Structure 1
Amino acid sequence: MPTPPIFDGHNDVLLRLMKDTSPDPVARFLEGGGPGHIDLPKARAGNLAGGMFAVFCPSPDERADFTTARDMSNTPLPPELPMDLARRMTTHQVALLLRLEAASNGAVTVCRSAADIRAAMARGSLAAVLHIEGAEAIDADLHFLDVLYAAGLRSIGPVWSRTNVFGYGVPFRFPHSPDLGPGLTDAGKRLVRACNEKRILVDLSHITEKGFWDVAALSTAPLVATHSNVHALTQAPRNLTADQLRAIRDSDGMVGLNFATGFLRADGQMRADTPIDDMVRHLDGLIEALGETRVGMGSDFDGALVPADIGDASGLPRLFEALERHGYDAPLLEKLAHGNWLSLLERTIG
């Protein structure tokens, strides 16, 4: 069967464009031919119809390249990021997304609701939802949250894999459980409540296990991990335990399959020769734990080393072909491709 339109729970395209030293990174994204996992031609070739476009602010003295590191058994945690630096990088990346939309002649749409996403997909426009991965740019009083919401922010991970004013992120360790530190701070609890009030999705993909349960106790919204896998299959702390998966299921939440090979392989290694079968194995595990209506894609394109057999967004049909051979029928493939994400977003951002 043809690959259904795909809505993806996480990419790091905006970080890649911020680092792009070409004369016009926006034009290069729209025209294609540059590096990276996603540009407009690659998205169209792979039937990638939209996704969560993350703003991520790297540490200036980061001591490891998490997209290529082969062994993450003892990767040091980056230090806290100064707010002024985080705001400069956040503003830059948000501006890049807005410029993409403005320069695209309708080919890219910044979406603020599930209805916006459906409308963009119906007219063949790439549907982009603004997400923040690590809230270092936001002050504890949450004034900047209002600014970002006005710019289109509809999804936020309070922490990346480092500490900030809102809580504690999961370091890169293997093998290890996600129980690697404290949870939300008081400011983090205020952030979760504010996100519920504004209908901003709270992403749990990088938070410690204690932080996960803090959010679960506070939040009135479905629990969501936009790009995580099954801890029982790959014992990386970024993956979800059986208890966490059960809580997500009980909240009618959602998990997006992370394509990062270190979160797919049983040995936790970042290797491009990771087979698509490992992706299928984790999807089987997620569906078994969550049911068919709470699982989707969360590729981490442009933020991780993905299997060479996928390569980039144009290779997405190869995953869906493998799932069809594995026995997934057309209705399930449609749910995994976009149906489940759109249903979840209707229940979170509106």
Structure 2
Amino acid sequence: MPTAPVAVFDGHNDVLLRLYNEGGESGIQAFLAGTEAGHIDLPRARAGGFAGGMFAIFPPSPMSAAFMDAMLGDGYDLPLPDPLTLAEGQASTLAMAAILFRLEQASAGALAVCRSVADIRAAMRRGAIAAVMHIEGAEAIGADLDMLDVLYAAGLRSIGPVWSRHNRFGHGVPMRFPSSPDTGPGLTDAGRALVRACNRLGMVIDLSHITEQGFWDVAELSDAPLVATHSNVHRLCPVSRNLTDRQLDAIAERRGVVGLNFATAFLRPDGKMLATPALDIVMRHLDALIEKLGEGGVAIGSDYDGAVVPSELHDAAHLPALIEKMRASGYGEALIARIARENWLDLLERTWKR
């Protein structure tokens, strides 16, 4: 009898954006029944051990195919998308939050929105996908922060103040290769107020898309562990989105966590977003993260449904390929379990207050 796949709790996916773009209700039904679209649906999650994760709400910017095509070149410097209005940010954010709750209702217990680590572990024990609401780009929140409290009450437990565009809270890094993450200013006064409010609520503050200055602004102001839900090692892939050794040292000092990003543009030394075989490159980043952060500071942040990923990991059903690669590289079962899920759950236990 085949053994069950190792359970994986993933730090970042964009399946809600995919369902939003697919029209909501039709996308929900396809997710539950199975589809060839994207990277995650219920059957593929069960096949690959995808047991839950941070389900990102990303207020999208209008972008042409040329945006992604540019990341196939020998170097690129993509212009930052225009800022969104508050109304634009709220419309898409609330629509994706509604999709998450409708997905929970339609799943008949196969997916649960979780607001505590106890909720996550209970969902995983009964075989349900444990979904944590996360925001990637806080354009839905006004400077008065009223919407933050509303979203928290609804289930929001993790937030990236900015995506790779500027907003009222701070500055995002452009998609640029080669480039340092030090690409401009950091938090605004409103962003500092947002960080203090997140600390009050006990929320994860995701530093994946913020400028290096913004990273240091959060590090100085926040009392929570430093977290990048889906980023890799800059010295192995010098793209603006990756973390320098100095940033990784700061995350380690604060007992934070970095989720290994499967996006090939943030893995490959040439920064190209190509769906090529890349498990050996994945392991180089994983080894480097463990070297800097220790065995308790590294997890998975796939970026499924938001990026081009290695061909061996082309959807959630193929997560066991990474587990087997870890075993072949000499990782023991205890370390594999930490990377697959326990480091995220430990981080959430130490960050969430309710």
1:54 partner letter: A
Select the residue among 142, 145, 169 that pairs with 1:142: 145
**Structure 2: unaligned runs, 5 residues or longer:** none
Q: Equivalent residue for 2:7?
A: 5
Supply the distance in 2 between the matched residues of 1:336 and 1:216 (Cα, whole angstroms): 24
Supply the distance in 2 between the matched residues of 1:234 and 1:61 (Cα, whole angstroms): 24
CA deviation after TM superposition for structure 1 residue 91, in Å:
0.7
Could you tell me the percent identity over the aligned residues? 59
Q: Equivalent residue for 1:78?
A: 81
1:96 partner letter: I
2:177 partner letter: F
Change (3 A) 1:66 1:117: farther
Would you say the 8 A contact 1:63–1:76 is kept in 2?
Answer: no
**Structure 1: unaligned runs, 5 residues or longer:** none
Would you say the 8 A contact 1:55–1:90 is kept in 2?
Answer: yes
Q: With structure 1 as the length reference, what TM-score do the two structures score?
A: 0.97
Change (3 A) 1:154 1:68: farther
Q: With structure 2 as the length reference, what TM-score do the two structures score?
A: 0.96
Select the residue among 288, 298, 311 that pairs with 2:301: 298
For 2:299, what is the secondary structure of its paired residue?
strand
Supply the distance in 2 between the matched residues of 1:159 and 1:63 (Cα, whole angstroms): 22
1:187 partner letter: A
Would you say the 8 A contact 1:68–1:304 is kept in 2?
Answer: no
CA deviation after TM superposition for structure 1 residue 60, in Å:
2.4
For 2:289, what is the secondary structure of its paired residue?
helix
For 2:127, what is the secondary structure of its paired residue?
coil
Supply the distance in 2 between the matched residues of 1:236 and 1:325 (Cα, whole angstroms): 28
Would you say the 8 A contact 2:70–2:78 is kept in 1?
Answer: no
Supply the distance in 2 between the matched residues of 1:38 and 1:69 (Cα, whole angstroms): 23
- CA RMSD in angstroms comes to 1.5
Supply the distance in 2 between the matched residues of 1:260 and 1:34 (Cα, whole angstroms): 19
Instruction: Report how many residues are paired.
Output: 350
Range with greater deviation from structure 2 (57-66 or 91-100): 57-66
Supply the distance in 1 between the matched residues of 2:106 and 2:139 (Cα, whole angstroms): 29
1:87 partner letter: Q
Change (3 A) 1:143 1:67: farther
Supply the distance in 2 between the matched residues of 1:88 and 1:278 (Cα, whole angstroms): 39
Would you say the 8 A contact 1:63–1:78 is kept in 2?
Answer: no
Q: Equivalent residue for 2:341?
A: 338
The C-alpha deviation readout for 1:209-243, integer Å capped at 9, x for no partner, is 00000000000000000000001110011111111
- 2:248 is equivalent to residue 228 of structure 1: no
Range with greater deviation from structure 2 (240-249 or 28-37): 28-37
Range with greater deviation from structure 2 (230-239 or 18-27): 18-27
Supply the distance in 1 between the matched residues of 2:77 and 2:327 (Cα, whole angstroms): 37
Q: Equivalent residue for 2:119?
A: 116
Supply the distance in 1 between the matched residues of 2:307 and 2:174 (Cα, whole angstroms): 15
Would you say the 8 A contact 1:62–1:78 is kept in 2?
Answer: no
Would you say the 8 A contact 2:278–2:310 is kept in 1?
Answer: yes
> After superposition, where does 1:1-350 map in structure 2 within 5 Å?
3-21=5-23, 24-61=26-63, 64-66=66-68, 69-71=71-73, 73-350=76-353
For 1:50, what is the secondary structure of its paired residue?
strand
1:214 partner letter: D
